[in-house]
């Protein structure tokens, strides 16, 4: 475990911003490639700069991070004129999927945070330096990070322009090739393809990965486990270089039901909420069961009817979903006073796929006068059956044996937390790691149960790669 800190105590100032001044909401602030972000629709947080960082590897990474953060904010001097989840001191984070991964899990405390929520907006400045924090100083720091040409020169005078965004290949969602379309209110136009971009095999060839899936199904048939999630990677080379800010804006505009994240080179838009904590209420969105929307082409009737028939009507998909729900609720139960989940999963419609989804809500129980922090909950919940399998230990060992891949931050928790214990942590799916200015590693995985077909699972990984491929301007 390592940590970099300033010398003094942490200080923060949060002031309101006039949200009407930037109609695009939070995504309008995704203008720097090093932005830290978490956003859905118009809401979310964007962070700039870095005043402290915690890193760790190993099985205790969540609890070590929890202790580091609680210690950091314990004696912080906080002036907060807004008092919403996400105001005051905030850290963004990304954690490795595996306790055996060499990849460093991290929490990063930015210098500046812009937040948007429920039609309210705010600006927070954080520092370890002596001297008072002022509203004028915070606005000037924001201006400095955004640069004079990115947000129209003057932020507080009504600046952030409404941005149109571009999208590459139509995603089987009715977006017209060659012409602009509207998706959830955002103007989406086709993105020019990245010149000279190429895709390469990752750790396993497609054939070898399908063999791994077949081997996984064999293990399931022996009764050693019920479900296994196997992932694979592909590597994109983009000679002109990757613009992380553009990728994030694309994802935020197109995948409005998802949470778009950007932390230190990890970018993506996840549909799966591991845990969201607000006061004493915790919520999760559990997904398992996937259908490529392109599969509905040529089918009679409404696409949604097709999705309902194929997903909700499939015993295999429902079984896979049931296992994922069970795994989350049984791990959350010891921390909860009350919990409710819908009896029936619903169909979550994304531009690329449909999922079977269930929302779970819990009232957290107090232990010795405190509700558990998000990181304590994550420590208990991760990895869920949606990304690992059931039983967890058996599935984890098989993943190591069959995948031949260090998942790094893929399928690990990604999100933010504040000093009051609020936070939002998704599972880092539908994402990629920018490994160098021109190299991006994309990850996708599938739940394998008895009856899974390797070819169908391979096709599903391509559907799951699609959000990143489109945003990078890569046609497949």
> Is residue 296 within 8 Å of residue 307, measured between CB atoms?
yes
Minimum Å distance from CB 289 to ligand ISC?
5
Minimum Å distance from CB 383 to ligand ISC?
10
Is 432 a binding residue for ligand ISC by CB under 6 A? The answer is: no
> Is residue 431 within 8 Å of residue 268, measured between CB atoms?
yes
By beta-carbon proximity to ligand ISC, the closer residue of 109 and 442 is: 442
Give the number of other Cβ atoms within 10 Å of residue 392's Cβ: 16
Minimum Å distance from CB 272 to ligand ISC?
5
User: Among 21-29, 82-90, 261-269, 284-292, which window interacts with ligand ISC (CB under 6 A)?
Assistant: 284-292
How many Å apart are CA 130 and CA 141, to the nearest integer?
16
DSSP readout, 294-349? GGGTT-SS-HHHHHIIIIIT-HHHHHHHHHHHHHHHHHHGGGEEEEEE-SS-EEEE
| 254, two tokens | 């197109």
Is 423 a binding residue for ligand ISC by CB under 6 A? The answer is: no
Is 93 a binding residue for ligand ISC by CB under 6 A? The answer is: no
Active site residue 316: no
Among 113, 146, 282, 387, binds ligand ISC (CB under 6 A): 387
Q: Which residue is associated with the tokens 């006061």?
A: 279
| 345, two tokens | 């999963």
By beta-carbon proximity to ligand ISC, the closer residue of 11 and 441 is: 441
Minimum Å distance from CB 307 to ligand ISC?
13
The total number of residues written for the chain in this structure? 476
CA-closest candidate to residue 216, choices 92, 422, 398, 473: 398
Q: Which of 272, 320, 424, 460 is catalytic?
A: 272
Minimum Å distance from CB 283 to ligand ISC?
17
Is 197 a binding residue for ligand ISC by CB under 6 A? The answer is: no
How many Å apart are CA 354 and CA 383, to the nearest integer?
22
Question: Which SS3 state, helix, strand or coil, does residue 250 take?
Answer: helix
Is 160 a binding residue for ligand ISC by CB under 6 A? The answer is: no
> Is residue 389 within 8 Å of residue 398, measured between CB atoms?
yes
How many Å apart are CA 461 and CA 261, to the nearest integer?
20
Across-strand partners of 51? none
Burial, 315: exposed, middle or buried (Cβ in 10 Å; 0-12, 13-18, 19+)? exposed
User: Among 39-47, 273-281, 433-441, 445-453, which window interacts with ligand ISC (CB under 6 A)?
Assistant: 445-453
Applying CB under 6 A, the site for ligand ISC has a residue count of 17
Active site residue 349: no
Is 446 a binding residue for ligand ISC by CB under 6 A? The answer is: yes
Minimum Å distance from CB 430 to ligand ISC?
6
Is 251 a binding residue for ligand ISC by CB under 6 A? The answer is: no
Tell how far CA 88 is from the center of its chain. 22
Of all helices (H) and strands (E), which one includes residue 43? Answer: strand 43-48
> Is residue 413 within 8 Å of residue 93, measured between CB atoms?
yes
Minimum Å distance from CB 464 to ligand ISC?
4
Is 447 a binding residue for ligand ISC by CB under 6 A? The answer is: yes
What does DSSP assign to residue 370?
A: B
Minimum Å distance from CB 427 to ligand ISC?
7
By beta-carbon proximity to ligand ISC, the closer residue of 229 and 405 is: 229
Of all helices (H) and strands (E), which one includes residue 423? Answer: strand 423-427
Is 289 a binding residue for ligand ISC by CB under 6 A? The answer is: yes
β-pairing verdict for 11-17 and 77-80:
parallel
Q: Which of 183, 227, 460, 470 is catalytic?
A: 227
| 284, two tokens | 């999760």
Q: Which residue is associated with the tokens 């929490």?
A: 107
For the chain, the C-alpha Rg in angstroms (whole number) is: 22
By beta-carbon proximity to ligand ISC, the closer residue of 290 and 373 is: 290
Is 386 a binding residue for ligand ISC by CB under 6 A? The answer is: yes
Among 229, 267, 375, 428, binds ligand ISC (CB under 6 A): 229
Is 452 a binding residue for ligand ISC by CB under 6 A? The answer is: no
> Is residue 388 within 8 Å of residue 395, measured between CB atoms?
yes
Is 190 a binding residue for ligand ISC by CB under 6 A? The answer is: no
Is 288 a binding residue for ligand ISC by CB under 6 A? The answer is: yes
Is 430 a binding residue for ligand ISC by CB under 6 A? The answer is: yes
By beta-carbon proximity to ligand ISC, the closer residue of 85 and 172 is: 172
Among 33, 111, 219, 272, binds ligand ISC (CB under 6 A): 272
Is 444 a binding residue for ligand ISC by CB under 6 A? The answer is: yes
What does DSSP assign to residue 169?
A: S
How many Å apart are CA 226 and CA 392, to the nearest integer?
10
By beta-carbon proximity to ligand ISC, the closer residue of 82 and 463 is: 463
Contacts with ligand ISC in 347-366 (CB under 6 A)? Answer: 355
Is 311 a binding residue for ligand ISC by CB under 6 A? The answer is: no
User: Among 39-47, 80-88, 211-219, 282-290, which window interacts with ligand ISC (CB under 6 A)?
Assistant: 282-290
Active-site amino acid positions: 227, 272
Which stretches of the chain bind ligand ISC, using CB under 6 A? 229, 231, 272, 287-290, 355, 386-387, 429-430, 444-447, 464
């Amino acid at each position: 475990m390592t940590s970099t800190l300033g010398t003094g105590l942490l200080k923060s100032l949060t002031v309101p911003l006039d949200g009407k001044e930037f109609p695009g909401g939070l995504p309008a602030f995704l203008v720097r490639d090093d932005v830290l972000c978490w956003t859905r629709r118009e809401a979310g947080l964007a962070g700039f700069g870095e005043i402290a960082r915690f890193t760790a590897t190993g099985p205790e990474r969540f609890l070590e991070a929890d202790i580091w953060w609680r210690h950091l904010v314990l004696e912080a001097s906080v002036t907060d004129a807004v008092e919403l989840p996400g105001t005051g001191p905030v850290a963004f984070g990304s954690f490795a999927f595996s306790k055996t991964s060499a990849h460093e899990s991290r929490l990063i405390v930015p210098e500046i945070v812009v937040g948007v929520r429920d039609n309210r907006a705010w600006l927070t400045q954080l520092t370890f330096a002596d001297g008072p924090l002022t509203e004028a100083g915070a606005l000037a720091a924001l201006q400095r990070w955004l640069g004079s040409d990115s947000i129209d020169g003057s932020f507080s005078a009504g600046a952030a322009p409404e941005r149109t965004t571009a999208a590459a290949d139509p995603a089987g969602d009715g977006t017209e090739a060659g012409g602009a379309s509207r998706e959830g209110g955002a103007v989406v136009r086709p993105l020019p393809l990245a010149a000279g971009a190429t895709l390469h095999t990752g750790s396993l060839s497609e054939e070898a990965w399908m063999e791994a899936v077949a081997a996984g199904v064999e293990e399931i048939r022996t009764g050693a486990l019920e479900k296994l999630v196997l992932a694979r990677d592909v590597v994109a080379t983009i000679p002109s270089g990757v613009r992380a800010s553009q990728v994030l804006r694309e994802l935020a505009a197109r995948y409005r039901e998802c949470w778009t994240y950007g932390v230190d080179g990890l970018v993506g838009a996840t549909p799966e909420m591991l845990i969201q904590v607000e006061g004493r209420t915790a919520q999760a969105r559990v997904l398992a069961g996937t259908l490529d929307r392109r599969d509905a082409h040529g089918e009679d009737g409404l696409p949604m009817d097709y999705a309902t028939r194929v997903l909700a009507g499939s015993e295999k998909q429902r079984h896979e979903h049931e296992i994922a729900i069970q795994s989350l609720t049984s791990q959350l139960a010891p921390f909860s006073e009350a919990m409710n989940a819908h009896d029936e999963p619903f169909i979550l419609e994304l531009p690329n796929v449909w999922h079977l989804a269930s929302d779970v809500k819990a009232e957290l129980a107090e232990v010795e006068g405190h509700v558990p922090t998000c990181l304590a909950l994550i420590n208990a919940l991760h990895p869920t059956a949606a990304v690992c399998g059931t039983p967890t230990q058996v599935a984890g060992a098989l993943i190591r044996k069959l995948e031949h891949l260090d998942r790094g931050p893929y399928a690990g928790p990604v999100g933010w937390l504040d000093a009051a214990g609020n936070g939002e942590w998704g599972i880092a799916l539908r994402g990629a790691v920018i490994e160098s200015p021109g190299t991006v590693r994309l990850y996708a995985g599938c739940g394998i149960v008895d009856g899974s077909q390797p070819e169908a699972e391979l096709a599903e990984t391509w559907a799951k790669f699609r959000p990143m491929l489109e945003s990078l301007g890569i046609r497949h």
